[in-house]
Structure 1
């Protein structure tokens, strides 16, 4: 997981297509011509809209193509529909899942159409954040119980007279509307529409040194450009988020997982083995994400640069059996 000034759905899709390359397709409308191709060295990877997920796919795609000789297609699909596409064989792998227990129960445990692909090596965490410059001037803002004290300062034209809690895409994992309601906070959740739109808004706030409260997540390269401090919500305890309407606790820390189509896991040969071996650090993911999102490099160029500089890491992914 991912939040994230408003843009149209068409603009969001166009932005993602630019990031993921000309091979990207909208999997809610069509399937990849490469997926489940019999006897061909092809792989189809699901790519989500946040740049960390794009970094994973960029590096995996580059190595599959340049080191293992596969043709690789990347497809755009939201978090939950990605599980349907994976189960049906319309994509072969998801490289970054932030936790979908209902889908995991249905497809991995019950239907057995999806197989675990191992940990990505990165631990994800969603939370509420304020800019470091505001937290330093007002240390008590980092306790959720003091947020209403600052609601007037965090009000915007979009938040209807309340403080604004800036979220990204409604498709991302978020408990924020329930949290605001259950914690009885004088705030309104405002969706920017996408990670890119949310980053634009956060950067503008920071440029003007304005206070803001935002849903955000780690790992994410933006912390290097806009330092932020997390607001402490009521502690997370196992099961405290089981009922989405009653959530009144922090988000968990989640070791991010990979998943493969079960048929691909069995017959995908070197490609399936490589994707199961693929695991890197938060810093490594952020390095590639920063090149894509901040330095405006193409995903392929960013992947090529990272591969040239990190041979010992990726060669181990190829060598393992």
Structure 2
């Protein structure tokens, strides 16, 4: 799961001009330049699964439906704003970590609509390595974390256990969990998925204890043996606001979201994206081709497409 936004610095005059232009547009503000489905923009959060979705969707849209596809990397919150403003037509993987954006753009403005489930089931959790669990089996219950906190202490954790946090832009409420469950741990953000994975792999190779935010599906789970720590059960609203969160994470049916005008436009591209639905195993296969076999996203998508015609043919609009 995981995302990185596009950050641009604009001079003040440009910003003012843009605001004037948007004001002049009125109702067109939430329109979609790709509403006819001939040229569309897909918002891509920067984790491997999202990259796999985009790689396959882009190649099929271009090769089978003659749609010109642009990909823009941005986090989920930025993607909802782009969908609202018509700067993007679709977000293919949302982890339901942005309730404010859902409320504003989906429920209230109705400028963004659900495109249906992606088919992939996701879960975020806290994980420790199995070799530590083998020696300390009670660590899998959060109530025993403080008992073992000293084992996780590092030079960065200020005398407490270190919790390896995710990229700050990922869906998370770990600081709230640590604070509200009174855990003797310090949240130390890793900065990026790549940096976090590198640190996990380093510690795992050295057989050292670590406690980390992680998620499935993610290729790392196929390479190292992690065990989830049971946190208090997620209930609706228990993580809102995140500062008061006192629960774990839910199982999530990952969802697609579309610009409303694009979704209602009746184009082949919109119908295809609504139909796009695959499994954890499908996504994992493309991620493996990219990250383990080192194929380019386009080459990985092509190989999966060649091997799975019966799956993707169902996504094509009926003629």
* TM-score where L is the length of structure 2: 0.88
Aligned 8 A contact 2:118 2:256 in 1: yes
Aligned 8 A contact 1:27 1:75 in 2: no
- Identify unmatched segments of 5+ residues in structure 2: 11-31
Aligned CA distance change for structure 1 residues 45 and 38 (closer, same or farther; 3 Å): closer
| Aligned-pair Cα RMSD in Å | 2.1
Distance in 2 of aligned mates of 1:144 and 1:278: 38
- Residue 198 of structure 1 aligns to a residue whose secondary structure is helix
Structure 2 residue 298 is matched with structure 1 residue 304: no
Match of 2:231 in 1: 233
- Residue 102 of structure 1 aligns to a residue whose secondary structure is helix
The alpha-carbon deviation at position 294 of structure 1 amounts to: 2.7
- Residue 118 of structure 1 aligns to a residue whose secondary structure is strand
1:295 is aligned, of 273, 293, 296, to 293
1:89 is aligned, of 74, 86, 97, to 86
1:48 is aligned, of 45, 48, 57, to 45
The alpha-carbon deviation at position 28 of structure 1 amounts to: 5.7
1:140 is aligned, of 115, 138, 141, to 138
The alpha-carbon deviation at position 37 of structure 1 amounts to: 4.8
Residues 72-117 of structure 1 show CA distances to partners (whole Å, capped at 9, x for unaligned) of 1100111211111110010110000111222122112211111110
- Residue 267 of structure 1 aligns to a residue whose secondary structure is coil
Instruction: Please list, as runs of the form range in 1=range in 2, the aligned pairs for 1:202-217 lying within 5 A after superposition.
Output: 202-217=200-215
Residues 6-60 of structure 1 show CA distances to partners (whole Å, capped at 9, x for unaligned) of xxxxxx88xxxxxxxxxxxx37669xxxx71576721210000111111111110
- Identify unmatched segments of 5+ residues in structure 1: 5-11, 14-25
Match of 2:249 in 1: 251
- Residue 151 of structure 1 aligns to a residue whose secondary structure is helix
- Residue 240 of structure 1 aligns to a residue whose secondary structure is coil
The alpha-carbon deviation at position 242 of structure 1 amounts to: 2.7
* TM-score where L is the length of structure 1: 0.87
Instruction: Please list, as runs of the form range in 1=range in 2, the aligned pairs for 1:121-270 lying within 5 A after superposition.
Output: 121-267=119-265, 269-270=267-268
Aligned 8 A contact 1:28 1:77 in 2: no
Q: Find the structure with the greater CA-based Rg.
A: 2
Distance in 1 of aligned mates of 2:113 and 2:8: 22
Match of 2:282 in 1: 284
Which moved further from structure 2: 206-215 or 239-248?
A: 239-248
Residues 252-307 of structure 1 show CA distances to partners (whole Å, capped at 9, x for unaligned) of 11111100001111226111000000011111111111222233221111111111
Distance in 2 of aligned mates of 1:27 and 1:109: 27
